Structure 1
């Protein structure tokens, strides 16, 4: 069998916005390239999921789900009014929440990044800090300037899945103005930065679920461990599902 036939299929959420390139000027479904490269480098086959029109049935064909970063979550989902700095897309929220919930129900390995971690927390009944400078004026500088990432040192719980992948601590790339506040049901904080802000969430059960407030795809060339572990988990699930399917000689025909 060709190697490409057995690589796991990784669904990746995207976002919809105005874009311009060449003579084109219009709306587009967009995925920052580093997410794509990180999945491919780790041995996965990326499947881009447009933020309009994608149904949860597509997850039946996939081996894992990557929920990427982007705009804020609608604060009405966690019972708050919007802060002046909060910007959200209700259609994208509906799309990402539906896909994430369905992926959890199917037991797919899931990796959530930045906004993805916030979607996960809110989906489990948690809440967000809508603007970190209001509550952590002396904390880490998570967003230095538009499009500029900052380095953040995180410390990881030794009993966690993240620790088995990343060790005691590591330096990560941050770009966000919101953070995790009340942690949702069934989730556990397994890494924090020096200012106490949660940086990694995991499931309290044995699901392969990691959500990072930071952006692991930005350090993909120097630290491939998290994406490698995620794609490996998706590959293990692929093999397990394949093992339960009958081979042609085992199929019963009438």
Structure 2
């Protein structure tokens, strides 16, 4: 494969992925291969290859009679994601306490600071993106490739919900003035730093408690967002409960 062809495919993939994660391409929207190729200034081949790569990640669905649609967002998918996240954070916490080095903790601290900076910018995409990268990094530092594959899928799929709940796509808080969003950011900040402190102290019980609290915090934000916003194309008639925390 030539460098030019590879670059065209990578450019198509990155742009399509961002448009899906920021809901510029809406859930269940049919994707027109010709139109997207024209918009991106590439041929149909790299677009088709990008569709297949995104399909492998679960962000695009290949329909039975040909063609592609953006993966939907619904209650069943959300429930599965939260279930997976609860299991994932517990496993990651135990392995980080056992395996992470001081250099690893320094790398995590830099990623936590990146989330803090994104929150200060009030940019929903930046917050969702840096937060996703932080939690994927936590998993990468466990040195377990199977958990990493799971984390990349879970946190990528959660980005669309995070983007919406942080005020993206015209949602409440998009102007950065929603008091509930500012409170949420304060709690996120507290959770991230409490978790890192517990990891550095090798305090697995506290670290696990904070990790679970953090999942429940996000779950609570999603519930609050959906109660205040009618989002076309999303089907959340109920939100599952998991344990007790900031709900």
TM-score under structure 1 length normalisation: 0.23
TM-score under structure 2 length normalisation: 0.23
The structure where strand makes up a greater share of residues is 1
